[in-house]
Structure 1
Amino acid sequence: MRGALLMMGSMVAFTVNDTCIKATHGMMPLLQVLTLRGAVSTLLLYLLALYLGAFRLRMNRHDAGLIGLRCLAEIVAAYFYLTALMNMPLANVTAVLQMLPLTMTLGAALVFGEYVGWRRLLAIGIGFVGMLLIVRPGPEGFSPDAGYALASVGCVTLRDLATRRMSPGVSSMTVTVLSALSVFVAAGLAAIWVDWAPMDRTSLALIGGSGVFVMLGYLLSVMVMRVGEVSFVSPFRYTGLLWALLLGWLVFGDWPQPLTLLGAAIIAAAGLFTLYRSRKLAEAGAEPGVALPAKIRRT
């Protein structure tokens, strides 16, 4: 239960971060936001990693290459996600992001050859139907903002697949700090050619609050892995969608349409079922990435 509470706390922190970033819309260019938020979050995450004694740069060439790939995916994902966040309701973007457990399962099967039974494949298909209810492509196809949200899901999936291939000895906090640093550096270089907007107390508070809540979200996530059983606490990630609904309504006056809510519910249900099946397979003595005996495979 402590792990579940920490997971819910981390979802609150990440959602408040998104709310702060979205509230800067119209105050300054996106690249300025990315640069300033990156500076704050990188510094705080680095201090957190030092405090935990988890910042270690020594690694082999294979892991260094994967971290490079992860950082590149993180940069592109941050740009796409924040672009969508600035122009779509908070709950809609958050709901699309809930596709991650499904895209990760599908990606692991396609890239790593991990076994995925027909039940989880069906859940993935149903989840994609829910996603279509949220983005609702019209006669001209997906809107650019919905396309950015979906592209961010693809980039985050690539990022997390690269992370899964790293050696167990690679510190997760080191990876997190380097990812934040890469976004900061990339945004800072790109922002050289952007006219920066003057900042007032409100914009400074929003940027500072965003950096603090990002750091808090990562801290709680690390604590979750230390005190909670992963298969039990993972479903509590979906509480982030509830906070996105609440904050989107209170702060921005946005409330999703019924079809959007239905799509979000379908995605959450499909993701929860996928996590449940993975846990059942693990309890049966076969991890999802291992070839299963015929008796288990039929289930």
Structure 2
Amino acid sequence: MTGDSRKSARAAIDVDRAQDFTPEQLKARLAGILLIVMAVALFSVLDTTAKYLSQELPTLQVVWFRFTSHFVMAIFFFRVWKRRHILRTKRPVLQIVRSLGLLCTTIFNFMALRYLQLSDTVTIMFAGPLLVTALAGPVLGEWAGRRRWTAIVVGFIGVLIVTRPGLGGLHWAVSLSLVAMICYSVYALTTRILTETDSVDGMLLISGGVASLAMTPVVITVWETPQSLGTWALLCSTGFFGGFGHWLLTKAHAIVPAPVLAPFFYSQIVWMVALGYIVFADIPGFTTILGASVIVGSGLYLLYRERQLNRASAPVPEV
């Protein structure tokens, strides 16, 4: 097959890919997108609830409730007593590392939320996928090319716009969000490795169990008894928002390719800005909006390049 023929065949395939989807495919994609939007909405409500509760209770206590209620709900949701096999893992050490990555992400994110606006923390967390792409080379052997490295650098410029290092307007709690973003990258990379061998349901259970167990000795030292039923209800709801959000995320990826879903993660900025204004009367500053635009733009370009590379690596039939 000649080079020109191969290009023509690839062009034909690309055109075919651009055709309208079948009703079943379209329905699946719309369902996956809806699940993602619902998941990031739940994550936004989780962060809003955590910020609200942290004004009244120790942040570490809120973190403990988030994972303990998540773990208890997951036990009943997955009926573990009938499906004990989902807890089996071929990589227990990596499961623990992943769980601690999620725990540290939550701890530092909740601590940052105590002092920062919701829009600030989520904007910095948006840089997580950029860091994952940068680390995928040495960790997973998935090296980024020149164009993707350019997008990564531009994305981190967006982080600098938000954090404004060296300027008087920098709040010290921004460093907590940066640490949370780094911990999230560890969580994301280990998740990608574990999904090849372990059950997704089991990963959800193990992450809740490990985090709850790790935080129990800590929560004893900081415990403050909630003073109202409403506070108790909000504390218990954190596990639902976090656990169910991650479950929706998993279900979405089970029916729709990740590149199709990924752009809709950025809809979280809309939820966070809206909830920040409604609950706390917060209005994002100009630098946050500008930095978010740069980071989101870089992330979308990375997704575009990923889809282009996937298409280029697809086998072309001989003609």
TM-score w.r.t. structure 2 length? 0.83
Does 2:52 align with 1:23? yes
Aligned equivalent of 1:292 = none
Does 2:79 align with 1:43? no
Distance 1:195 1:59, change over 3 A: closer
Does 2:206 align with 1:169? no
Deviation of 1:140 (Å): 7.5
Question: Secondary structure of the residue that 2:88 maps to in structure 1?
Answer: coil
Residue 98 of structure 2, aligned match among 67, 70, 74: 70
Task: Give me the whole-angstrom Cα distance separating, in 2, the residues matched to 1:167 and 1:250.
Answer: 38
Task: Give me the whole-angstrom Cα distance separating, in 1, the residues matched to 2:77 and 2:277.
Answer: 32
Task: Give me the whole-angstrom Cα distance separating, in 1, the residues matched to 2:208 and 2:165.
Answer: 33
**Which has more radius of gyration?**
2
The gaps in structure 2 that reach 5 residues or longer are 1-29
Letter in 1 for 2:282: D
Distance 1:167 1:249, change over 3 A: closer
Does 2:40 align with 1:11? yes
Distance 1:139 1:269, change over 3 A: closer
Deviation of 1:177 (Å): 1.5
Deviation track 1:215-238 (CA, whole Å, cap 9, x = no partner) reads 321221122022222211111111
CA contact (8 A) 1:70 1:159 kept: yes
**TM alignment of 1:117-136, pairs within 5 A:** 117-136=145-164
Deviation of 1:202 (Å): 2.4
Letter in 2 for 1:94: V
Deviation of 1:36 (Å): 2.0
Task: Give me the whole-angstrom Cα distance separating, in 1, the residues matched to 2:231 and 2:134.
Answer: 40
CA contact (8 A) 1:54 1:174 kept: no
Deviation of 1:64 (Å): 1.1
Letter in 2 for 1:2: A
CA contact (8 A) 1:135 1:142 kept: yes
CA contact (8 A) 1:54 1:171 kept: no
CA contact (8 A) 2:66 2:242 kept: no
Residue 203 of structure 1, aligned match among 220, 226, 231: 231
How much is the aligned-residue C-alpha RMSD, in angstroms? 2.2
Aligned equivalent of 1:282 = 310
Distance 1:212 1:37, change over 3 A: same
The alignment of Structure 1 onto Structure 2 pairs a total of residues equal to: 285
CA contact (8 A) 1:55 1:173 kept: no
Does 2:222 align with 1:188? no
CA contact (8 A) 1:90 1:244 kept: yes
The gaps in structure 1 that reach 5 residues or longer are 288-299
Aligned equivalent of 1:220 = 248
Task: Give me the whole-angstrom Cα distance separating, in 1, the residues matched to 2:236 and 2:265.
Answer: 24
CA contact (8 A) 1:31 1:188 kept: no
Task: Give me the whole-angstrom Cα distance separating, in 2, the residues matched to 1:130 and 1:55.
Answer: 44
Larger mean CA deviation between 248-257 and 139-148 belongs to 139-148
Deviation of 1:203 (Å): 1.1
Deviation track 1:56-75 (CA, whole Å, cap 9, x = no partner) reads 12233xx1111121122222
Aligned equivalent of 1:56 = 86
Does 2:259 align with 1:234? no
- Of all paired residues, the percent bearing the same amino acid is 29
Aligned equivalent of 2:26 = none
Deviation of 1:214 (Å): 1.7
Aligned equivalent of 2:277 = 249
Letter in 2 for 1:276: Y
